[in-house]
A and B are shown apart, each in its own frame.
Chain A
Amino acid sequence: MSLLSLTWRNIRGNAFRSWVVFLCALVVAGFALSTTLIMRGAENSLRLALARLGADIVVVPEGSESKVETALLMGTPATVWMPQENMQKISAVPGVAVASPQLYLSTLHDASCCTVPDMFLVAYDPATDFTIQPWLKRRFGNDLKLGEAVGGTHIFVPPGEQNIKLYGYFVSLKGNLEPTGTGLDQSLFFTFDTARDMARISHTRAERALQIMPDSISAVLVKVVPGTKPQDVALGILHAVPGVTPIESPNMFQAYRKQMAGLLKTTLALLTITWALSVVLLGLVFSMAANERRREIGVLRALGARREYVFKSLLAEAVLLALAGGAAGIALGAFTIFLFRNLLISSLGIPFLFPSAAPLLVLVGGGLVVALVSVTTAALVPAYRISHQDPALAMRE
């Protein structure tokens, strides 16, 4: 009888034991993959958001740091203002290569244009912008005209309509940016001219007029001169421009990073407990199986089966069940996280982007290894003990 057919018979021979091992491998692999997916997805999302902003420093009105960060990361609209003259002051700070102002606005609640109740509107200055313009040039070869906009991945033109209607103003959606898993996915970007035109039209056509504070801006994105430390430039801005807070790019979204670190600790603790309990349970199951099969293994040895053959057949049983359970757990975990990603974002309050195929394959491999190591570790001692027992003694019991 071949090793594989003996293993298969053993698996089918005790369905309850096999199901317990299968389910333990499923839980360990599924849980390990799900938690890693969430943490990696959130980290990936933060990285993409920073890359999308493309700024070394973001200058916001003093005291509005968390409002702006929440707007950029979670898409919760924020309207903050600072004098437009700050723009000139920031540009004059040594080490500043480019400074570009932005206006942060908000739609009316429950607008029909998009998949979110409140859409975050970002107006930018095409003359100085380095966030949207390079993407537009690459994609369409020209800039946005009056009345045109680009949206995050969740922005769409309502079915049956030609344009997005905002404050009674028709905006033509020129394209959608790649997903980041952050609030930028539910933001609409257009030029300052479009924002002013929208505000003008809104006075006569909208339920509530769009208010833009005169001679004001919401934030300034800064790129520093290559070779200059962003920290030094940020200090320079802090001294030269009163009433503003410069946030360096690596320090952005600190509140969310702390929240994620807390979440990581909790999930790691839960993962460790689950893993340890599963290994103990599997160890017990394999020990019971080894005791149950003492006579059977004794007969097998008496018929000429070598110790290595018995040891290998027991380990092969564990490996097969671990691979099957691990694969099922990974498929279930990844599919569930993918389906419930929107619920995760809203309930955990963190950004999340499902990983692409290559990183996902690495995580899947990792999950399978965890399941394999857990089950094999638990089966190792009982398999060694039973394969080294004296066949004569075992058959007499």
Chain B
Amino acid sequence: MKIVGVILIALAIVIAVVPQFLDCQSQGRAITLADGRLIPMKCHWTAVAEIALGVPLVGLGALLALSKRRETRRALGVVGAMLGAFAILLPAALIGVCAMNEMLCNSVMQPTLILAGTLVMVISLGAFGFSFGGKEVEPA
């Protein structure tokens, strides 16, 4: 289960860090209001929200790598799958990204988050499923 935990930590870092370099704000693009003020585009808020998912996912990966009890792995698997689902939903439905296909947030950031979120879901559900089989390691 250690390797699963390490993979989840790596994916969590991707989810939290990659959007910070691919949103329109990081590319120097913003919405100009009629009064001249600049406000961030919605992909920026998606990038910020992904930090809130990535950080607990790092902790979850560490706990999964260290945990020896089946029940703990089962619970962590369910929580991981939910966090993965939200990592997908934030750019795809809940907040979204900019509409233009040529923008980095649309062509790279959104697909990266959907791919990473899907992998988190699959791995977490795998950890959940495998927690029902095999021998339990007794804590020392």
Cβ of B108 under 8 Å from chain A = yes
A342 to B101, CA, bound (A): 6
Tell me, yes or no, whether A142 is within 8 Å of chain B by CB.
no
Bound-state CA distance A335–B119 (Å) is 11
Does B67 belong to the interface (CB within 8 Å)? no
Report if A343 contacts B (CB, 8 A): yes
Interchain CB contact (< 8 A) of A115 among B100, B108, B118: B100
B3 CB to closest chain A CB (Å) equals 9
Q: Which of B99, B107, B114 meets A343, CB within 8 Å?
A: B107
Q: By the criterion CB–CB under 8 Å, are A116 and B115 in contact?
A: no
List B contacts of A335 (CB < 8 A): 115, 118
Question: Which single member of B106, B114, B115 contacts A342 (CB below 8 Å)?
Answer: B106
Minimum distance in angstroms from B29 CB to a CB of chain A:
10
Q: Does A336 contact B (CB under 8 A)?
A: yes
Cβ contacts B90-131/A at 8 Å (1 or 0 each) = 000000000111100011101100110010000000000000
- Distance (whole angstroms) from the CB of B38 to the closest CB of chain A: 15
- The interface size of chain B toward A, counting residues with CB under 8 Å, comes to 12
- Alpha-carbon separation in the docked complex, A291 to B103 (Å): 54
**Chain B proximity of A158: nearest CB distance (Å):** 9
CB contacts (< 8 Å) of B99 on chain A: these are 115, 156
- Complex alpha-carbon distance, A186 and B114, angstroms: 24
Interface residues of A (CB under 8 A from B): 114-117, 154, 156, 186, 335-336, 339-340, 342-343, 345-346
Could you list 25 examples of A-B contacts with CB < 8 Å?
Answer: A115-B99, A115-B101, A115-B106, A116-B100, A116-B102, A117-B100, A117-B102, A154-B101, A156-B99, A186-B101, A335-B115, A336-B111, A336-B115, A339-B111, A339-B114, A339-B115, A340-B107, A340-B108, A340-B111, A342-B101, A342-B102, A342-B106, A343-B111, A345-B101, A346-B101
